[in-house]
A and B are shown apart, each in its own frame.
Chain A
Amino acid sequence: MSSKISHPLDDLLRIERLPHIWCPGCGIGIALASFLRAVKELNISMDKIAFVSGIGCSGRAAGYVHCDSFHTTHGRAIPLAMGIKVARPDIHVVVFSGDGDLFAIGGNHFIHAARRNVDLLVICINNFNYGMTGGQVGPTTPFGSLTTTSPYGNIEHPFNLVHLAAAAGAVYVARWTVAHPIQLSQSIKKGLMKKGFAFIEVIAPCITLYARYNKLGSPPEVMDYLKRNSIVRNFIDPSKAEINVKGRIIVGEFVDVERPEFITELYRLIEIRGGLKVKNLVEPLE
C-alpha cells in the first residue's frame, strides 16, 4: 500500500512546483483543472500540447502544466502561440490568460487572431480586475465597481467578451463560471477539437481583491452566488449574454460555426504556389 497521496491529474502537472501561487478561494485552479481533465478525457498526449500564457495571475498557470509551455510578455500570448501553431500545426496550442492580459494590453491581437480564424483555443480567466498587481480596474470591470484605481466606482463600461469574440469572428464561443467545472471541461474539449479560433470565457472570483473591495462575500458565498445566479442560455445572441455582478450571469455556448482556417490556408498556398507538400516549417525539404 502506497503511503503517497496522488491526484488523478498529477501526471499532467509539474507537481514539484506545487503549491501554486494562487490565493485561497481563487478560481484559476478550478479552470486549470477543468482544462487538464478535458485533455485527459480526450486522451491527448501532453507532448502534443503547447500551453501559452501572458502576464498576471492566470499567466502563472504555464509554469505548472507538464507540457511545453511558454510564459510570454504581457499581452503577447496570442501572437506567440500563433508562431508555434504556424511552425507546428500538428500541436494543440492553447492560450490560457487573464482578462487584462488578453483584452487590454493584448486586445488587438485577440480580435485579429479571431478575425483570421487561427486554430487556437483561447481560455480567458475573467476575474474583473488586475489581480497580480493588487486589484486595479480593467477592461472587464463592471460599471460602478470599486478597485484600487477606481476608488470612487468604475466609470468605464466593460467589454462583453463573448460578444466581442463572436463579432471578431471566433468559430466557437462559450462562457462558464468556475461553479460549472463539468460544463467548462466539455466546452474545453470542444474548443480543443475545433478547427479554428475557439474562445472560452471563465468567470472566476478574485477573493483577495475584487470580491473583498466589492463586498461579494467569502469564497463559499461567492461560489454559491455564481451557481445560483448563472443562467444557461445556449446559442442566444452573444450581445444579449450579459454579466451583472450583483445580478444574473448568462452562461453557455454561444457560437459554433465553420469558417476556413488561417493556417490551413497558409499551407494550401505553399501547395498551390510552390507545388510542395509541407507538414510544418521545421523539417527541412529534401
Chain B
Amino acid sequence: MNSIVKAVSFLPDHCFNLIWLWVIVLGESSPKYLKGAFFMQGDEACAEGAIVAGCRLFAGYPITPSTEIAERMARRLPEVGGIFIQMEDEMASIALIIGASYAGAKAMTATSGPGFSLMQENIGLAVMTEAPIVIVNVMRGGPSTGQPTRASQGDVMQARWGCHGDHEVIALSPYSVQEMFDLTIEAFNLAEQFRVPVILLSDEIIGHMRERVILKAPDEVKIVNRKKPRKPPKLYRPFEPDDDLVPPMACIGEGYRIHVTGLTHGYDGLPKSIDPRTHEMLVKRLCDKIKLNIDKIVRMDEFFIDDAEVVLVTYGSPARSAIRAVKIARSDYGLKVGLVRLITVWPFPGNYFKRLSLKVKSYIVLEMNYGQIVREVERFALGKPVHFAPKLGGDIHTPDEILRVIEEVYENVK
C-alpha cells in the first residue's frame, strides 16, 4: 500500500497513468529507478536517463522549454541520494557542475537558448580543464528571447563554436522521448570516457512531447565511468594523456593535490600560458582526442540508403516527418529516396558523408533553422547538389512539405 501511495505522489498532476502504477506496484517496488513502459514527456525522460547514468547533482535556472527537467530533478534526486540546486543564473549553474564533477560526482545542467549563451564561457572552461559534464539545451526560437514556447534548431552552430578558442565538443540530437532517455545516458558515458562537455541538443517538440518510453535500470544499460589514475600522487601528472589522448582523472579530495586552471597548462596542470609549444600541444590534444576517436563517438540512423539516389539529412524532431515522407516517396511515388538521421551532430561525420557522396545524386537537408548543418553537408558532398529546406517559426516540417521538396529535386535531377 505504501508503494502505491509513493507511486501516486510521483505522477505528474496531469498524467494519471495506469501502466505507471502497474509497473511500480508489481515491478519495481523502490522508487529509485523506474523500469518498464511509461507515458511521459521528453524532459522527464531526460531526467530519468540522467539518474540512471549516475547523475547525482543537478544545478540549473528555470527557462522554457527545459524547466520540466529541473522540476523532475528537484523531486527525484533526493529520492536517489542526489541533490538538486536552483542557482541564481546559468553561469553559476555550469560553474557549479564543473566543481562537482571535479570533486568526483556526475553532474548536469539543463537550459535553452538564452541560458545556453550565458554558459558558453564555462563550456570553454570544461573543455580546457577536461571536466566531464552534461549540458542539456532544449532549443527554442532565437535570437534573444525569441519564441520561448516554440521549437527550433537554431543553436547547432553555437553548440559547436559558442565558446572562444579552438575546441571540440560532443553534441547529440534526440528525435524521440525514448532517445531523450537513451541519449542522456549516452551523453554521460561520452563525457566520462573523453573528459569533455557533452551537449544534449534537444528541441521544444521533443522536450514537451509525451509518448511511450521504455525506462531501464543501470544494470540494463552500459554505464561508463572516468578513468582513474594508476600512479601514486607523487608520480601522477593530471593532464598526461594515455594513448587515447584522454588523461586519467584524479579528483579533488583524493590526495593527489591537483591544480586545475583555465590557463594553458602542461601535463602537471600548472599554468604555462606564455609558452607557444605548450599551448599548441594542449589545444591539438583537446581537439584530437575527439577527432581521432570520431568512429567511437559518431552514430547515425540510416533509412533506405543502399539504393538511394536522393538522401535526406536531418536530426531531432524534423526526422519524424522525414521518415514518413521517405516512406511515402518510396511506396506511392516509387522514388529512390533515403534518409540519414544524425544522432551525433558534433563531431560531424565528415568521412561518412564523403563515402556516401560517391554513391548518391543529391542531398536534401532539413533543419528547423535558416541553415546550419547544411554547411557541413556541403563541405563533404564532393560537389553533389545539396538542397536545403529550412523551417522557421516553431513548427515542424510536415511530411507533405518534405514530399514537395523531394518532387522538386527529382524534377531537377531529370
Contacts and interface: CB of A to CB of B under 8 A. Distances in A.
Interface string B71-101: 0000000111111010111011101111111
A112 B96 contact: no
B99 A83 contact: yes
Contacts, number: 165
A219 B89 CA distance: 41
Nearest to A115: B88
A107 B4 CA distance: 46
Given A71-B262, A83-B59, A108 B88 contact: yes
A282 B259 contact: no
Of the listed residues A60, A63, A83, the one surrounded by the most CB atoms of chain B closer than 10 A to its CB is A83
A63 B266 CA distance: 13
Given A87-B99, A285-B81, A79 B92 contact: yes
A42 interface: no
A284 B81 CA distance: 9
B40 to A, nearest CB: 20
Contacts of A68: 252-253, 256-259
B252 A88 contact: yes
A246 interface: no
Of the listed residues A78, A84, A280, the one surrounded by the most CB atoms of chain B closer than 10 A to its CB is A84
Interface string A186-210: 0000000000000000000000000
Interface string A48-89: 101010000000101100111111110110111111111110
B83 A270 contact: yes
A83 B101 CA distance: 8
Given A68-B252, A284-B54, A82 B99 contact: yes
A43 B290 CA distance: 44
Contact of B56 (A75, A90, A109, A281): A281
A273 B78 contact: yes
B47 interface: no
A84 B81 contact: no
A80 B107 CA distance: 12
Nearest to B260: A70
Given A84-B99, A109-B92, A281-B57, A63 B78 contact: no
A88 B103 contact: yes
A16 to B, nearest CB: 9
A247 interface: no
A274 B87 contact: no
B101 to A, nearest CB: 8
A72 B125 contact: yes
Contacts of A67: 257
A266 interface: yes
Given A83-B57, A274-B78, A274-B81, A73 B262 contact: yes
20 contacts: A69-B259, A72-B98, A76-B95, A79-B92, A80-B95, A83-B57, A84-B99, A85-B99, A86-B85, A86-B99, A87-B57, A87-B99, A87-B100, A88-B253, A109-B92, A266-B83, A274-B80, A280-B105, A281-B103, A281-B104
Contact of A270 (B82, B87, B91, B107): B82
Nearest to B125: A73
A280 B253 CA distance: 11
A91 interface: yes
A47 B96 CA distance: 21
A46 interface: yes
Given A62-B261, A68-B253, A281 B82 contact: yes
A86 B57 contact: yes
A281 B96 contact: no
Interface in A253-280: 266-267, 269-270, 272-274, 276, 278, 280
Given A14-B270, A71-B260, A83 B98 contact: yes
B309 interface: no
B105 to A, nearest CB: 4
Contacts of B101: 83
Contact of B95 (A83, A90, A91, A276): A83
A69 to B, nearest CB: 5
A17 interface: yes
A75 B124 CA distance: 15
Nearest to B101: A83
A82 B88 CA distance: 13
Contact of A86 (B92, B96, B121): B96
A108 B92 CA distance: 9
B96 A82 contact: yes
Nearest to A267: B83
B122 A76 contact: yes
B78 A270 contact: yes
B165 interface: no
B350 interface: no
Nearest to A108: B88
Contacts of A46: 257
Contacts of A52: 99
Contacts of A73: 95, 121-122, 124-125, 262
Contacts of B271: 60, 63, 71
B105 A281 contact: yes
Contacts of B263: 71
A83 B58 CA distance: 10
A79 B105 contact: no
B103 to A, nearest CB: 4
